[in-house]
Structure 1
Amino acid sequence: MTKGRTFNPPPGWPKPPKGWTPPKDWKPDPNWPAKPEGWELWISDAGDTPQAAPAVEVDSDPTDPEAPPNELFALKAEVAMLRAQLADSSTAAAETISLNDQKILQDIGIYRYHHPLENAAGYRAELERIEVEITKVVREQKAIEVSSIFTFENSLAAGRKLSNDLGKLMLRAYNAECDSCIRSLRTGNPGVAKKRLEASRKAIAKLGKIMEMQISARYHDLRIQEIELTADWLMKKQEEKEAEKENRARIREEKRIEKEFAEERERLAKEKHHLENAIEALREKGERNPDLEANLLALEDAIKQNEFRLANIRSGYVYVISNQGAFGANVVKIGLTRRLEPNDRISELSGASVPFRFDVHALFFSEDAVSLENELHTHFRERALNAVNARKEFFFATPAEVRDVLMDKVGSLLEFSEVGESLEYHQSRKYWPHRSGELN
């Protein structure tokens, strides 16, 4: 059967000695790569070097019996197959990886920086350093590893060229996947991007097994660091943006408060002046008015209190409020206001952004309201609605629980309402569609 024919090993198989014929019941080693479809193991003798079958065009049908594929056709077909499989496996991997940012945040509870730095500028500088390292590895041709002993058409040089060309193709696909991961990054989801890139690396190693091809560990680690640093940079930028927004709001609030106190000072001064004039006029007549004198004393106390609060920026009202219609039962907001009229702040919070007005459970004045608010926030920190942004002030707690902690801090409370009225909410529920009535 093999007389006048020469054994033609497929790519990746060891080359047999000249004139070798297989022994009886010989079978290829199962660890060897599978032969390409249409590959002929035995070809007609044509000198010392085995010759491939007649060349066929790449576009021809490989199943055509009149046009059996040669080595070049088989390898081109294999390259096309590898490209298709790489695209399919990358797509499948992306589909099997959860893209639910909320689930990721819930899994970790809060975002943890992979490379903690002080500010966004620090992350930008570190990213530039990583980009330089990536360029260096690529320039030194250490980004992808391929076999140096792969042969093509019995030529080691041709095998190396084919391996290098296919390696460039695979590296381009890997880099494209990495760039896509970075472009799709949002704050809080680096795990998804890293899983996608790891899946791409595994697909390349699997598809390039015949050439011992894989993305180098050094290059892969650099791209992973790039993803982590980009995610950290995005998160830090978001934090700085939120902090700047909070700072602007704080400055506006302080200016508003200063204006309120200045207007109150002017009003009290005018009222005091009128009372003093009235009392002086009565005194000139030899008369007294105890009510006017008592009003003057109360007015002087109000002036002192106003000056104290204007000078002491830590004083103010700590409030405990809830909104059952907006946030459900057993959710409270614990905040601080320095307004002369603290209910003005509650009215602002009850604006158009929420469907119902807030119920006020407590308004407690403290000379160090800032510390008192921080102590309450620290106590209920593990029960915060927003586990990512510590500036939010909503907590899973009942008003009674907050009352107990507040009494432990300040000793006593003159007034505290444990149950909110929620009039608008209760009056509106009967008009809701049935499915919306599930809110307790």
Structure 2
Amino acid sequence: MQDFGFYNPKYDLESSEAYKNRLEDLRRRQKEMVKSKVATTFNHNWTVNGSKSEGKKMVTDAVNLAIRSFNNECDATISKVTVANISSSEKRIIKAFETINKLNRVTSTEIKKAYLDLKIEELYLALEYAQKLETEKEEQRQIREQMREEEKVRREIEKLKEKVEKEEKHFTQAISKLEEQKTNATGDQLAELEAKIFELQNKLNEVLEQKEDVLNRERNTRAGYVYVISNIGSFGEDVYKIGMTRRLEPMDRVKELGDASVPFKFDVHAMIFSEDAPTLENILHKTFTNNRMNLINDRKEFFRVPLQEIKRVIEDNHDKTVEFTLTALAEEYRESRSLREKSLEQENIPV
């Protein structure tokens, strides 16, 4: 499976720090084997021109050269390891091990299998370490994105609170003044004042309802919108992003997504308010987990699934009526395609 870009971790340690420590320990063990002269086997009794000291020097040089050559080959291979080439990288290290041992057969010098095993272990640990680092970077990016999103929500709520409290104060003061004027009013004037008070009271009631909604949103951090959007020009038919936002104006979030690294705007198929938006979003993500476009990174929220299926799952798990737009307008994409086709037709018109 590794040849096709799939990789099942051998070690699956919990953090990059754990991988780093494991690698440091492994490399320390390798150095210990070399230093203690147990990384290789060699002939202790070799002589050169009858000299044991010359023979010992020749064997020492051969051992050092073998270890250095093998380490260099391993380091070069490990530094470039990826999921796509992990199998061939392991074969390359084994091939280097066999070749170096074969070349040193004349001096009876051989790198031990135990040392090779440590290098193979280092290869796989290095790959998983790099993967874990990438995963942690993505998680940190997501956390920063979430923090920015929450800060935007906080500012929106504060701004709206300020607005409704200002309106509440305005209407309350206006009603109070009219009530004072009523004490000396009679007949038509009194009736007119009462009508104005009634009108202002209705407006004040609306403001108080808005204020209560804002306070509820501030208290309930799980309230928000689950959205279903598509971008045919960028991702093709039947591909939908299912996400959530706590924004008071959820379309602001959709607009941001459309401005970020995609050539066309998103079409909105559903915008569902929920008192527990994360749970509804999670149900949808789990239901369509096998339909994910990216099966490696769960934080990518794109799914290839019929819109009717998404609609059915939402209706089964949401107790309020949801309006769905089943047709994607994809206006910018369709207009762009039309202009491109016209341009090609004009180029093919014979002169």
Give deviations 1:102-127, integer Å, cap 9, x for gaps. Answer: x958542xx54332333222222222
**2:292 is aligned with 1:380:** no
Question: Match of 1:417, SS?
Answer: coil
- C-alpha distance in 2 between matches for 1:381 and 1:147: 60
CA contact (8 A) 2:62 2:109 kept: no
Residue 194 of structure 1: aligned partner: 90
Shift of 1:261: 0.3
**Hey, what's the Cα distance between the residues in 1 that align with 2:203 and 2:83?**
59
Measure the CA separation in 2 of the matches of 1:306 and 1:126: 51
Aligned to 2:253: 345
Query: Cα gap change, 1:197/1:429 in structure 2, threshold over 3 Å: closer, same or farther?
Result: same
Matches of 2:329 and 2:150, distance apart in 1? 31
Maintained 8 Å contact 1:324/1:331: yes
Q: CA deviation at 1:370?
A: 1.1
The amino acid across from 1:196 in the alignment is: R
Amino acid at match of 1:355: P
- In structure 2, the partner of 1:288 is 195
Letter in structure 2 aligned against 1:240: E
For 1:126, which of 22, 31, 43 is the aligned residue?
A: 22
Q: CA deviation at 1:281?
A: 4.0
Deviation of 1:209 after TM superposition, in Å, equals 5.3
Match of 2:205 in 1: 297
- Aligned mates of 1:112, 1:261 — CA distance in 2: 45
Structure 1 residues 178, 163: closer, same or farther in 2, change over 3 A? same
Q: Look up the match of 1:230.
A: 126
User: Taking CA–CA contacts closer than 8 Å with sequence separation of 6 or more, which of the two structures ends up with the larger relative contact order?
Assistant: 2
Change (3 A) 1:308 1:149: same
- Displacement of 1:273: 2.0
Whole-angstrom distance in 2 between the partners of 1:113 and 1:193:
16
Question: What's the CA shift string for 1:146-190, capped at 9, x where partnerless?
Answer: 567999899999888766544433332211111112222457764
CA distance, structure 2, for counterparts of residue 186 and residue 298 of structure 1: 61
Helix, strand or coil at the partner of 2:259: coil
Work out whether residues 279 and 288 of structure 1, in 8 Å CA contact, stay in contact via their aligned partners in 2: no
TM-score when scaled to structure 1? Answer: 0.67
| C-alpha distance in structure 2 between counterparts of 1:211 and 1:329, whole Å | 67
Counterpart for residue 304 of structure 2:
396
Q: What's the secondary structure of 1:361's corresponding residue?
A: strand
- Number of equivalent positions: 331
Tell me if 1:410 matches 2:306. no
Is the contact made by 2:164 and 2:211 (CA closer than 8 Å) also made in structure 1?
Answer: yes
1:119 and 1:236 in contact (8 A); partners too: yes
How many angstroms apart in 2 are the aligned matches of 1:307 and 1:105?
Answer: 55
The residue aligned with 1:30 is none
Contact 1:325–1:355 (CA under 8 A) maintained in structure 2: yes
Deviates more, 1:157-166 or 1:220-229: 157-166
Deviation at 1:259, TM superposition (A): 1.0
Write the deviation string for residues 186-237 of structure 1: whole angstroms up to 9, x where unpaired. 5776444323212222333454556665431110111122222222222222
Partners in 1 of 2:46 and 2:314 — Cα distance? 76
The structure whose Rg is larger is: 1
Is the 2:247–2:253 Cα contact (8 Å) retained in structure 1? Answer: yes
Q: Which residue does the alignment assign to 1:175?
A: 71
Question: 1:188 touches 1:235 (CA, 8 Å); kept in 2?
Answer: no
> What is the aligned partner in structure 1 of residue 269 from structure 2?
361
**Aligned amino acid, residue 399 of structure 1:** L
Partner of 1:313: 221
Tell me: CA distance 1:159–1:321, structure 2 relative to 1, closer, same or farther (3 Å): same
Q: Which runs of 5+ in 2 are unaligned?
A: 183-189, 345-351
Query: How far apart, in 1, do the equivalents of 2:56 and 2:237 lie?
Result: 70
In structure 1, how many angstroms separate the alpha carbons of the residues matched to 2:310 and 2:75? 49
Instruction: Tell me if 1:240 matches 2:148.
Output: no
Q: Quote how far apart the aligned CAs of 1:139 are.
A: 1.6
Higher helix share: 2
2:170 pairs with 1:274: yes
> What does residue range 37-116 of structure 1 map to in structure 2 within 5 Å?
104=2, 106-108=4-6, 111-116=7-12
TM-score by length of 2: 0.83
Name the Cα RMSD after superposition.
3.1
Aligned match of 2:348: none
Judge conservation of contact 1:144–1:213 (CA < 8 Å) in 2: yes
Could you give the per-residue CA deviations for residues 260-318 of structure 1, whole angstroms, max 9, x where no partner exists?
10110010111122222333444443413444333322221111111011111111000
1:219 matched to 2:126? The reply is: no
Q: Percent identity?
A: 36
Report if aligned partners of 1:331, 1:396 keep a CA contact under 8 Å in 2.
yes
Q: 2:242 and 2:177 mapped to 1: Cα distance?
A: 50
* Aligned pair partner of 2:231 in 320, 323, 332: 323
